[in-house]
């Protein structure tokens, strides 16, 4: 692969039809597809789009799952209808049912009028349920019924309302393992995986890195007053060598930062702010000091620990320590870590702190 960046990388795939889509076309623009693996996935997505089948998109955080979902919607017969996105990990469990299915006036305190849920809002279009693996078990049963019956019943009502929306779901959780652990319903899993797309992490499709870098240079360069910015060869090698655990989102933020701090018209490796030990070649020497934490992590990695094992160990330690610090209160733990309570509960079950049957608010 060449170490030089092309002068321009057209991206005809992203067709943003609303302001939110325009923002997404900048962020994590996974649809800049150059790597053969990415092109094969794109061809598969195009075939899936032609049907009405429910789609399950599986991929790590930051790989661009919502962009793939939007692309499927734009290529489908429902492209003239709305694309409605709902993040199952971002909303409190007590509010999730009313958001998804809607409610009737007077059904609970504060329900001063009728409100349709997201299934109704997506009429004639597509409903994208992001992080479906974080959906609580009680709502999984209700979602399964909606999928099976093709109708929804609002909170406070007994009248079923027919729905006309294609369902696209996404997750960074291995749902087959969640089913085996009792955290996800098997019948719902099989309903969702009619058509499955596995979105590889950026480290497995390195042919996309250089085109994505050029894409973000084209986006952020003019905004920051850089009419023409070049990556020196050492910088390109560093970008290609780094494993990108945060995927395309991390790459975007890295390029944005580099443009903020670079001097003149060239971006050097030190402008990337990447851990040097993970980007240097066998004959290169470090140019940036490692923090004590980075040095400790590198020592563990050098001892033979794989990245997935290392990540799981760190994640488990953080969750357990935070949970103990917050006196075993899930809500406080979620607030401390800046994540949803559903994610905290999932991690506590995964690491054996709680049993699958635990449903308490603590």
Q: Convert the pLDDT of each residue in 353-362 to its tens digit.
A: 887 666 555 6
Could you tell me if 215 and 326 lie in one domain? no
The predicted structure's pLDDT at residue 21: 41
The predicted structure's pLDDT at residue 2: 40
Could you tell me if 164 and 285 lie in one domain? no
Query: How far apart, in whole angstroms, are the C-alpha atoms of residue 92 and residue 164?
Result: 26
> Domain boundary at 257, 289, 321, which?
289
Least confident of 164-168, 175-179, 222-226: 222-226
Residue 270 in domain: yes
Cβ proximity of 11 and 215 under 8 Å: yes
> Domain boundary at 289, 318, 336, which?
289
Residue 307 in domain: yes
Could you tell me if 210 and 175 lie in one domain? no
pLDDT band with cut points at 50, 70 and 90 for residue 12:
very low
Could you tell me if 356 and 216 lie in one domain? no
pLDDT band with cut points at 50, 70 and 90 for residue 77:
very high
Q: Convert the pLDDT of each residue in 187-211 to its tens digit.
A: 999 999 999 999 999 999 999 999 9
Which one has a higher pLDDT value, 327 or 303?
327
> Domain boundary at 251, 274, 289, which?
289
Residue 7 in domain: no
- The closest of 248, 267, 255, 250 to 25, measured between CA atoms, is 248
Could you tell me if 93 and 152 lie in one domain? yes
**CATH code at position 167:** 3.40.50.300
Which one has a higher pLDDT value, 108 or 60?
60
Query: How far apart, in whole angstroms, are the C-alpha atoms of residue 287 and residue 268?
Result: 11
Residue 296 in domain: yes
Is the pLDDT score of 48 beyond 80?
yes
Instruction: Using CA atoms of 60, 65, 68, 74 in order, give the dihedral in degrees to the nearest 10.
Output: 170
Residue 17 in domain: no
pTM of the model: 0.68
Could you tell me if 44 and 189 lie in one domain? yes
Pairing mode, strands 55-59 and 166-171:
parallel
**CATH code at position 329:** 1.10.10.60
Q: Convert the pLDDT of each residue in 247-281 to its tens digit.
A: 999 999 999 999 998 876 788 899 998 875 444 44
Could you tell me if 64 and 84 lie in one domain? yes
Could you tell me if 281 and 358 lie in one domain? no
**CATH code at position 254:** 1.10.8.60
Could you tell me if 49 and 165 lie in one domain? yes
Total of domains in the chain: 3
Domain holding 47, by residue range, is: 36-202
Helix axes 36-49, 65-75, angle to 10 degrees: 50
Query: How far apart, in whole angstroms, are the C-alpha atoms of residue 321 and residue 227?
Result: 47
Mean pLDDT, range 304-317, rounded to an integer:
70
Is the pLDDT score of 68 beyond 90?
yes
Query: How far apart, in whole angstroms, are the C-alpha atoms of residue 301 and residue 309?
Result: 10
Separation of CA 229 from chain center: 29
Could you tell me if 192 and 47 lie in one domain? yes
Residue 110 in domain: yes
Could you tell me if 307 and 188 lie in one domain? no
Pairing mode, strands 126-130 and 83-87:
parallel
Q: Which residues contact 338 (CB under 8 A, 6 or more apart)?
A: none
Q: Convert the pLDDT of each residue in 113-136 to its tens digit.
A: 788 888 989 999 999 999 999 898
Could you tell me if 274 and 238 lie in one domain? yes
Q: Convert the pLDDT of each residue in 53-65 to its tens digit.
A: 999 999 999 898 9
Residue 246 in domain: yes
Torsions phi, psi of 153, nearest 5? -115, 120
Cβ proximity of 271 and 234 under 8 Å: no
Residue 10 in domain: no
- On average, the pLDDT of the chain sits at 80
């Amino acid at each position: 692969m060449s170490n030089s960046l092309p002068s321009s990388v057209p991206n005809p795939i992203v067709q943003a039809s609303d302001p939110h889509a325009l923002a997404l076309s900048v962020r994590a623009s996974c649809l800049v597809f150059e790597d053969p693996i990415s092109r094969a996935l794109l061809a598969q997505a195009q075939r899936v789009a032609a049907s009405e089948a429910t789609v399950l998109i599986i991929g790590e955080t930051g790989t661009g799952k919502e962009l793939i979902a939007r692309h499927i919607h734009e290529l489908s017969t429902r492209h003239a209808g709305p694309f409605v996105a709902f993040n199952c990990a971002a909303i409190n469990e007590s509010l999730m049912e009313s958001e998804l299915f809607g409610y009737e006036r007077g059904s609970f305190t504060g329900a001063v009028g009728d409100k349709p849920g997201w299934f109704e809002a997506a009429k004639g279009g597509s409903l994208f349920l992001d992080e479906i693996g974080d959906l609580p078990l009680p709502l999984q049963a209700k979602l399964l019924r909606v999928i099976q019956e093709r109708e929804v019943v609002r909170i406070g009502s007994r009248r079923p309302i027919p729905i006309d929306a294609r369902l696209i779901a996404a997750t960074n959780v291995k749902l087959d393992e969640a089913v085996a652990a009792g955290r996800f319903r098997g019948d719902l899993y099989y309903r969702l995986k009619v058509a499955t797309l596995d979105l590889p992490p950026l480290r497995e499709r390195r042919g996309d890195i250089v085109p994505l870098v050029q894409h973000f240079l084209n986006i952020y360069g003019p905004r920051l007053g850089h009419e023409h910015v070049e990556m020196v060869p050492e910088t390109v090698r560093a970008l290609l060598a780094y494993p990108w655990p945060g995927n395309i989102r991390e790459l975007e933020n890295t390029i944005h930062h580099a443009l903020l701090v670079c001097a003149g018209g060239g971006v050097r490796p030190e402008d990337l702010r990447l851990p040097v030990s993970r980007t240097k070649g066998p004959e290169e020497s470090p140019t940036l000091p490692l923090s004590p934490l980075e040095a400790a992590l590198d020592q563990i990695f050098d001892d033979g620990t794989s990245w997935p094992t290392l990540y799981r160990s760190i994640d488990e330690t953080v969750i357990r320590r935070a949970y103990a610090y917050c006196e075993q209160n899930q809500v406080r733990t979620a607030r401390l870590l800046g994540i949803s309570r559903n994610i905290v509960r999932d991690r506590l079950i995964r690491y054996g702190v709680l049993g699958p049957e635990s449903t308490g608010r603590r």
